[in-house]
Amino acid sequence: MAQDIDEARTQRYIEVQQSAEFGELRAKFRRFVFPMTALFLAWYFLYVVLATYAPSFMATKVLGNITIGLILGLLQFASTFAITMIYARWADRELDPAAAKLAEHMEGGSLS
Amino acid sequence: MTTLAPMATQVGNTTLNIVIFGLFVVVTLAIVIRVSRQNQTAADYYAGGRAFSGRQNGIAITGDYLSAASFLGIAGAIAVNGYDGFLYSIGFLVAWLVALLLVAELLRNTGRFTMADVLSFRLRQRPVRTAAAVSTLAVSAFYLLAQMAGAGGLVALLLGITDRTGQSLVIAVVGALMIVYVLIGGMKGTTWVQIIKASLLIIGAIVITVMVGVKYGFNLSGLFDDAIKNSGGSDKILQPGLQYKNPIDFISLSIALVLGTAGLPHVLMRFYTVPTSKEARRSVVWAIWLIGLFYLLTLVLGYGAAALVGPDAIKAAPGKQNSAAPLLAYHLGGEILLGVISAVAFATILAVVAGLTITASASFAHDIYAHVIKKGEIDADSEVRVARRTAVVIGIVAIIGGIFANGQNIAFLVALAFAVAASANLPTILYSLFWKNFTTRGALWSMYGGLIASLTLIIFSPVVSGKPVDKATGVSASMIQGVDFHWFPLDNPGLISVPLAFFLGWLGSVTSKNEVNDAKFAEMEVRSLTGAGAEKAALKH
């Protein structure tokens, strides 16, 4: 009995996984998070490389004692906050409804 | 400003410090007992019933993450080394984007209690779980030792206890308290301790920042002026390069920091304390805002300590660099503010150690005992019983380890934990979440390879032996004095061990015969992205 339920559930998982809707959700998710990850990693390591290989450039004073290095560092904070907000909004709007629909489809058909 | 130096040896009022800390313990213990009356099931003990909101969990994550090393350590690094301390803090923040974008939600949907749940989901259970548990225990042990080692220095600074026996006694008291929290409170109680601690820490940092700000009319440039004056008149503290002399070394450290956070088992486990993946996302959003805010405040605290206390006075204090924030608090707010900051620092150690102990005990009981030794044939009650006993053992080991590690370099131990997490854990986490053809062999090669590579490279690095002897103090900055067996040139292994672990994961997978379990893979993929079949929250009591 329990085994039948498990098997039916497994069937459903495979069915959902192969559905066009799920393929679209997965593609949408990856199209967002992979480039975003590449972007923030590149931006962070650019900053690290500048700080380690171009310290005198980073020490250039822009206004009083405020240096380019400080501004670039604060921009790392700003970009981290921005990406966080952009992703959270995007995921709330784009990801959650599609995921909820598929989850419902998945649970709705379950025999348990 | 040099007049402050003599005071630095006996800061504040020891009795007051102890009273405020005692108050913290009494209040949190009462709360822990209150929230834990219904602490029965495995989900309660390991995951706080999965009933915390994203905001609560985000604050608790902040509490977990802002350990004594980052709270006292970064402020001190900025006070003494200026810009390089700031540079260091940025890696700790940016790292959270890896957790936000790639790990938190998928992990929450897929696993139950531990990191190994996710890694072994569609691979061979026993070997993968064992490897994941070994690396969880290793990372947690280094992190735990770092916290306990830090406790000794803190005691010297804040309670005026300088002899080793006295310090050992305090370490034992802190450890014993921690065991009590974990046994009574489980994950639920520990989470509340983290929430209270994080709130106090951030409020304290805001208060000090505002006080510094008022002194300088909220003019950052003016604050820097004084910091420069107090640092021998050189504006080198505004430039990179005071602490990190070797560029490759810092790049290596950055890799470990940025990829290590999302592989720290005690951070990952916190994602199971919320009911849904959406709340897991919220947790990270809250954590990023709060941690980011805190590091911004630390910038002011660090330069404020340089400007108002002075790097020389800080370096002469018992806790050396770590005493920057407490000394600044004393300078601005006298004994009371120092007492509060001291209590927060102790609470930090207590809370972080409790979180680590739960993680390590869960990994042993859930992964090794229940799944590897008993092959899953065990009821949840006995599993939790084993977890509790393990927590006691880990607590005792932490006390003994802390007594022996007293005085060791904390930053080194923390960097070690991050390097092992980035090498042994993160590659396998990402592969198993995103790569269909990942196999058991790939996972084992990547985890053991990453673990062994990072440990070996550290043992033969200059941190352990072979740094030149400082003429002023007569000691080498390495862990072991008088010998030199280092051949690896960098302080941090990340640059080599992280790419190696990714490579081994790929190599192991392409050389093993295809073992894709279509059913399990379908379940994992659908579950991770949609939440269908994910563990539900316990009913609210």
Structure tokens at A69: 């290095």
Residue B95 CA to residue B70 CA, distance in Å, equals 14
Confidence label for B2 from pLDDT (cuts 50, 70 and 90): very low
Residue B276 pLDDT: 92
Domain boundaries, chain A: 2-108
Is the Cβ–Cβ distance between B104 and B271 less than 8 Å?
Answer: yes
Q: How far is A2 from chain B (nearest CA, A)?
A: 16
pLDDT along chain A (112 residues), means of 10: 74 90 94 97 96 90 90 96 97 93 77 36
Helix or strand (DSSP H, E) at A63: strand A61-63
User: B337 CB contacts (<8 Å, ≥6 apart)?
Assistant: B204, B207, B208, B329, B330
Residue B318 CA to residue B316 CA, distance in Å, equals 7
| B317 assigned to some structural domain | yes
**Residues of chain B with C-beta less than 8 angstroms from the C-beta of A90:** none
Is the Cβ–Cβ distance between B119 and B113 less than 8 Å?
Answer: no
Q: Which of A44, A56, A95 to mutate to test the interface with B (most CBs of B within 10 A)?
A: A44
Residue B110 pLDDT: 93
| Inter-chain residue contact B240 with A59, CB threshold 8 Å | yes
Work out the number of other CB atoms within 10 angstroms of the CB of residue B168. Answer: 19
Residue B19 pLDDT: 86
Give me the DSSP letters along A30-90. Answer: HHHHHHHHHHHHHHHHHHHHHHHH-HHHHT-EEETTEEHHHHHHHHHHHHHHHHHHHHHHH
Flag whether residue A68 sits within 8 Å of chain B, measured between CB atoms: no
B281 pLDDT exceeds 50? yes
Q: Calculate the alpha carbon distances from B265 to B95, B115, B132, B268, B359 in Å.
A: 15, 6, 10, 5, 7
Distance of alpha carbon B164 from its chain centroid, rounded? 25
| B112 assigned to some structural domain | yes
Residue B151 CA to residue B149 CA, distance in Å, equals 5
Flag whether residue A71 sits within 8 Å of chain B, measured between CB atoms: no
**Residues of chain A with C-beta less than 8 angstroms from the C-beta of B284:** 84
Confidence label for B425 from pLDDT (cuts 50, 70 and 90): very high
User: B346 CB contacts (<8 Å, ≥6 apart)?
Assistant: B21, B24, B151, B154, B158, B174
| B60 assigned to some structural domain | yes
| B535 assigned to some structural domain | no
Q: For residue B520, what is the nearest residue in chain A, using CA coordinates?
A: A10
Q: Which of B238, B251, B293, B530 to mutate to test the interface with A (most CBs of A within 10 A)?
A: B530
B276 three-state secondary structure: coil
Taking residues B478-482, report their average pLDDT. 79
**Residues of chain B with C-beta less than 8 angstroms from the C-beta of A66:** 220-221, 224
Q: Calculate the alpha carbon distances from B525 to A16, A23, A110, B85, B121 in Å.
A: 10, 11, 17, 41, 11
Helix or strand (DSSP H, E) at B203: helix B164-215
**Residues of chain A with C-beta less than 8 angstroms from the C-beta of B58:** none
| B114 φ/ψ sector (left φ>0, alpha ψ -120 to 50, else beta) | beta
Residue A109 pLDDT: 53
B492 three-state secondary structure: coil
B539 pLDDT exceeds 60? no
| B333 φ/ψ sector (left φ>0, alpha ψ -120 to 50, else beta) | alpha
| B539 assigned to some structural domain | no
Structure tokens at B398: 């932490």
What is the separation, in whole angstroms, between the first and last Cα of chain B? 56
| Inter-chain residue contact A91 with B531, CB threshold 8 Å | no
Structure tokens at B374: 């008993």
Helix or strand (DSSP H, E) at A66: strand A66-67
Higher pLDDT, B318 or B221: B221
Structure tokens at B352: 């972080």
B308 pLDDT exceeds 60? yes
Domain total in chain B: 1
Choose among B100, B220, B254: nearest Cβ to A66: B220
The CA-based angle B495-B406-B18, given to 5 degrees, is: 120
Residue B31 CA to residue B28 CA, distance in Å, equals 5
Residue B179 CA to residue B185 CA, distance in Å, equals 10
What is the separation, in whole angstroms, between the first and last Cα of chain A? 11
Q: Helices B14-35 and B125-159 sit at what angle, rounded to 10 degrees?
A: 150
Higher pLDDT, B408 or A54: A54
What is the span of the domain harbouring residue B334? 4-530
Could you tell me the CATH number of the domain that includes residue B50? 1.20.1730.10
**Residues of chain B with C-beta less than 8 angstroms from the C-beta of A73:** 83, 86-87, 90
**Global confidence as pTM:** 0.92
Residue B299 pLDDT: 93
**Residues of chain A with C-beta less than 8 angstroms from the C-beta of B522:** 10, 13-14, 16-18
Residue A45 pLDDT: 96
Establish whether this prediction's ipTM goes over 0.85. yes
